[in-house]
Amino acid sequence: MHPLITPEALSDALSARPATVVLDVRWRLGGPPGRQDYEVSHVPGAVYVDLDTELSAPPGVGGRHPLPDPGLLQEVLRRAGVREGGHVVAYDAGDGSVAARVWWLLRWAGYGEVAVLDGGFAAWEAAGLPVTAEVPVPPTGDAAGDVVVRPGQMPVLEADEAAALAQEGVLLDARAAARYRGETEPVDPKAGHIPGALNAPTTGHVGGDGRWLGAAELAERFEGIGVSGGVAVGAYCGSGVTASSVVLALEVAGITSAEKPAALYAGSWSNWCALDREVATGA
């Protein structure tokens, strides 16, 4: 399954068999909760999943959005109706950087048939496709979820490994340039970046219409940042969420592959700060 899907293709997939499970993961840093948007309007049949409480472990030294407990993640996915042999599509309110967390988590859990809705909910509405406020009834019987979470299927970096990769390979910082340079830091206790990391803001993955750039354009962008084929590459952000979209973008660009994906520093900057590691500032 290609990691990106258009609204039109998703609309067709909703009537196909095996059924496609759609997960709404709209979320804003600092709120209000995305569930409020979901209750007003969402893709028909979509199930809301909360980033803070269902796709992450409680915050702490591990970061603001540590990886969830595998058993609890399995429960969340089964309640949503995710089945072995089926398909999952996730969408958010913007550029796919939050939905990419679902894409990455399912891949980490050993579930390969997952994609991000290109352009998010805005693109679905712009295409004139139907929306609803009706919350679907959790599936039961033969339709109930049976997915088995098998964690560890995507490479994950700890702080020491991220520090080494920034010096020996390429470590990409997915945050906005001002946060990377240390000019501002609205969330974490320190401003700046991991020494040696290169800045690759998630906003650069998409065009003016909110849709993802093509493979060639993404490859050109990463090459301009300093990513070259054959070099080990990883990504981080503030808390490990939006950096998932960098992992996805590298795969779409053809720089990495499903068999050899980029690594994710799951704790990211929030974990780096909690460990009181060295900080670099400037361009």
Residues with a catalytic annotation lie at 237
Q: Is 59 left (phi over 0), alpha (psi -120 to 50) or beta?
A: beta
Sheet holding 47-48, edge to edge: 4-5, 114-117, 87-91, 20-24, 47-48
CA distances from 221 to 11, 96, 117, 214 (A): 30, 18, 21, 11
Q: What is the DSSP string of 12-70?
A: HHTTSSSPEEEEE----TT---HHHHHHH-B-TT-EE--HHHHSSPPPBTTBSSPPPPH
Q: Give one word for 31, left, alpha or beta, with left for phi > 0 and alpha for psi -120 to 50.
A: left
* Burial zone of 134 (CB within 10 Å; 0-12 exposed, 13-18 middle, 19+ buried): exposed
Amino acid at 260: K
Q: 21 has which bridge partners?
A: 88
Q: How many CB atoms lie within 10 A of CB 189?
A: 10
Two tokens at 47?
Answer: 């199930």
* Residues in a beta bridge with 91: 24
